Amino acid sequence: MRDDERDLRLAVQLLNDAARVAVLTGAGVSAESGVPTFRGAGGFWRGRSAVELATPGAFRSDPAGVWEFYRFRIGALAGVTPNEGHRSLVTLERRCERFWLITQNVDGLHRAAGSENVIELHGSLARARCTSCSYDCRTDDLPDEAVPSCPRCGDRLRPAVVWFGESLPEPAVRSAEEAVRECQVMVVAGTSGVVEPAASLAHRAGARGAAVVEVNLEETPISRVARVSLLGPSGVVLPRLVGLVD
């Protein structure tokens, strides 16, 4: 039996034996649907680094420019649909007694695929929120303004995503912590394993005894703590893995 087949069978056995499963996904899962990652050498928009635009300081100094960038990102998702990797996780969720889907992605494709218990660590492009009060809304419902204003208090609305230098939303953090404490298996798919604090979740789950199953195109820092690493596109590997689970 080839090593990759042996690894696949081990991953299937681990999932078959688990009632409580957590999944952590990163940009690689959505990249297979055609979603730009806006990281690395190609992460520029109109000559500006996407990292520079995704900060509280950028919004304070150029809110219209930041909103233009995010409207572009939202528009780029209009024709994007979930891939087989997203859909396979819906099937996995339905067979588990407890299931958590923790994602670093902001594109909403897991929800579009039908996943229910989705923990969006970095927020969602589908929503906007007020910079002053608790008002939030769907980005589909934003007024046609360069910088949308809050209908409740009149202050600026901003994309409901986590920018560089900001803390993760507390409800998402609590749910992710629960997953780390409770899961028997954590599947990590399409993430580089270097963006904190999400990257530490797999390490902590493994340290408390959960089996970590990695699905990625190449080895990452998470490979060192993974019980098994399955190399390949998540849109191919995840459906094959889940399809073998009883």
Annotated catalytic residue 122? yes
Tell me the C-alpha to C-alpha distance, in Å, between residue 157 and each of 23, 63, 92, 170.
31, 10, 36, 20
If you ran DSSP here, which 8-state letter would residue 156 be given? B
Please name the amino acid found at residue 59.
F
For residue 130, what are its two tokens? Answer: 């007020």
Rounded Cα distance, 31 and 38, in Å: 10
For residue 121, what are its two tokens? Answer: 């660590």
Phi-psi region of 24 (alpha: psi -120 to 50; beta: other; left: phi over 0): beta
Please name the amino acid found at residue 150.
C
From 86, 110, 122, 203, the catalytic residue: 122
Residue 170 burial (C-beta neighbours within 10 Å; 0-12, 13-18, 19+) = exposed
Q: Are strands 123-130 and 136-138 parallel, antiparallel or unpaired?
A: antiparallel
Rounded Cα distance, 122 and 64, in Å: 21
DSSP 20-84: EEEEEE-HHHHHTTT-----STT-EETTEEHHHHSSHHHHHH-HHHHHHHHHHHHHHTTT----H
> Catalytic residues, which ones?
122
